[in-house]
């Protein structure tokens, strides 16, 4: 009988050190395959395997597409590629970004749950926003185990805190205790495969296929949820709202996916970019209007020149209003809004 031998780990900001500590505390003979997604820039070298190998415990490599899954091995998502699991093999794919990242945690967690069910142990470590929450919900829903780093210990607590609020977590522990727990859990026989309704099974399959670069429209992405008035920040396609328990997230018809938090962050970032673009356009009109005013003044047409200078000043005044809007603009996240709500309660 199969054991709980598929361990998937997700981390972002502050997660590098948490992963290093976790790998250093694991025994070299751990009979499990470990898969790690750590958010990184697409143009950096993937150094995490070298750091893990310096611990002289489990062997780690940047994963290769279609390589066999071997126990007692650590597979790390390379830069700008999603790491996913298929039956017996690893998939390394440049599929659509999820939660603004590639690699992202949710595609790994979701594919592991779909392929290996109750054999999966999902772990969310330090990180910003909430990538991994939806995937951890799927792992739990399919009979796997859900573990998060204690938010008080995490350098950036948002990812584990989000998972705690949305998923029925099995263990919430410091990193060192997670390591010893993994030794125990990976020696246990996995429970019987949990049965889920065919409709939910098909939804998971659809999202796994989309991340594996299958065309989202052909896979029926618009059947996953209700169409919304929101546009995808990446491609401006229409987003569909997908519900999982008390989680709501979004996916567009080209395949990009967002949690509610990452969508809010993207939209508010785009507002600031748009406002600066507006300021640039207005200021260019001010320069042009003043130049034309100078031109007509030189041609001894003072009334026309004065009108150009007047319009330039009016445009400059409008630019100042927009500039003030930029300076007052707030980058919003669920965490920042929750913090402000708590502060208002404290001040009440």
Confidence grade of residue 29 (pLDDT, cut at 50, 70, 90): very high
**pLDDT surpasses 90 at 90:** yes
pLDDT at position 313: 97
User: pLDDT digit string (tens) for 296-314?
Assistant: 999 999 999 999 999 999 9
Burial of 93 by CB count in 10 Å (0-12 exposed, 13-18 middle, 19+ buried)? middle
The active-site residue out of 12, 126, 134, 158 is: 12
Q: Which residues, listed in sequence order, are joined to residue 249 by a DSSP beta bridge? A: 242, 259
Q: Which residues, listed in sequence order, are joined to residue 171 by a DSSP beta bridge? A: 147
Report H helices in the chain: 15-25, 48-53, 105-116, 133-141, 158-166, 175-185, 198-211, 216-219, 260-298, 302-328, 334-347
| Whole-number Cα distances in Å, 318 to 155, 322, 330 | 43, 6, 20
User: pLDDT digit string (tens) for 179-213?
Assistant: 999 999 999 999 988 888 888 899 999 999 999 98
User: pLDDT digit string (tens) for 205-246?
Assistant: 999 999 998 887 788 888 899 999 999 999 999 999 999 999
Mean pLDDT calculated for residue range 104-116: 97
pLDDT at position 100: 93
Mean pLDDT calculated for residue range 44-69: 92
pLDDT at position 167: 97
Mean pLDDT for the chain?
94
Question: Is residue 295 flagged as an active site residue?
Answer: no
The active-site residue out of 39, 82, 141, 256 is: 39
pLDDT at position 194: 83
Question: Is residue 12 flagged as an active site residue?
Answer: yes
Tokens of 222: 């618009």
Sequential DSSP letters for 230-267: EEPTTT-PEEEEEEETTEEEEEETTS-EEEHHHHHHHH
Closest CA to 155 of 20, 7, 27: 20
The active-site residue out of 5, 130, 131, 261 is: 131
Rg (the chain; Cα; Å): 25
Angle (CA) 86 9 51, round 5°: 110
pLDDT at position 341: 86
Question: Is residue 162 flagged as an active site residue?
Answer: no
The DSSP H or E segment spanning 59 is strand 59-62
User: pLDDT digit string (tens) for 307-339?
Assistant: 999 999 999 999 999 999 999 988 888 778 888
> Coil, helix or strand for 295?
helix
């Amino acid at each position: 009988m199969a054991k709980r031998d598929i361990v998937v780990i997700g981390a972002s900001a502050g997660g590098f050190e948490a992963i290093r500590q976790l790998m250093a505390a694991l025994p070299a003979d751990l009979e499990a395959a470990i898969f790690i997604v750590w958010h990184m820039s697409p143009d950096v070298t993937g150094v995490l395997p070298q750091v893990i190998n310096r611990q002289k415990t489990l062997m780690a490599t940047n994963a290769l597409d279609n390589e066999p899954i071997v126990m007692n091995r650590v597979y790390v998502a390379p830069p700008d590629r999603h790491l996913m699991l298929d039956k017996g093999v690893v998939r390394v794919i440049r599929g659509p970004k999820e939660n603004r990242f590639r690699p992202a945690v949710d595609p790994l967690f979701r594919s592991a749950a779909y392929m290996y069910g109750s054999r999966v142990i999902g772990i969310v470590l330090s990180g910003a926003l909430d990538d991994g929450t939806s995937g951890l919900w799927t792992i739990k829903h399919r009979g796997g185990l859900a573990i998060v780093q204690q938010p008080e210990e995490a350098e950036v607590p948002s990812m584990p805190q989000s998972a705690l609020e949305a998923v029925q977590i099995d263990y919430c522990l410091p990193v060192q205790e997670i390591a010893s727990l993994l030794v125990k859990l990976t020696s246990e026989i996995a429970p019987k495969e949990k049965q889920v309704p065919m409709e939910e099974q098909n939804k998971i399959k659809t999202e796994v296929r989309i991340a594996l670069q299958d065309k989202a429209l052909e896979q029926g992405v618009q059947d996953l949820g209700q169409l919304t008035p929101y546009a995808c920040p990446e491609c401006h396609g229409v987003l569909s709202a997908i519900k999982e328990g008390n989680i709501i997230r979004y996916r567009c018809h080209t395949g990009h996916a967002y949690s509610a938090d990452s969508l809010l962050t993207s939209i508010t970032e785009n507002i600031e970019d748009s406002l600066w673009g507006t300021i640039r356009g207005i200021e260019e009109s001010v320069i042009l209007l003043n130049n034309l005013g100078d031109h007509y003044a030189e041609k001894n047409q003072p009334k026309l020149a004065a009108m150009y200078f007047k319009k330039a000043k009016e445009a400059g005044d409008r630019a100042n209003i927009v500039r003030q809007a930029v300076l007052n603009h707030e980058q919003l996240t669920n965490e920042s809004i929750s913090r402000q709500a708590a502060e208002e309660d404290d001040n009440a």
